Structure 1
């Protein structure tokens, strides 16, 4: 009898973890356009890639206007 109760309890506990919602993926990215041109090209390609991914996966992506810098120059 105890074995049945234990198995039932484990089944209920495992079933609730299987259907639990996963945390949403979050990213905050900063980049600058005042660096080598290769790095700027890579950043622009990454923005295009993540924009397409956001459209496919219903994510929110708000890139800054091209030519603006989010990094503080010191």
Structure 2
């Protein structure tokens, strides 16, 4: 019987939304920004996180390019 209870939640492709808990001050600041922009708090947070992810990816690419360039310069020089 227990196995059936576990399997009822095993749905391929099911979407799981994780709760995120913000510090009180962070939440208050973001809520005020969201209100000022006229958007939902979740929309603002998702937009900010997408921008941070983009910056992280750009930084990784820049680091990879710098390492590649140093390797070529060392080989030439």
Structure 2 length-normalised TM: 0.31
As a proportion of its length, which structure holds more helix? Answer: 2
Bigger relative CO (Cα 8 Å, ≥ 6 apart): 1
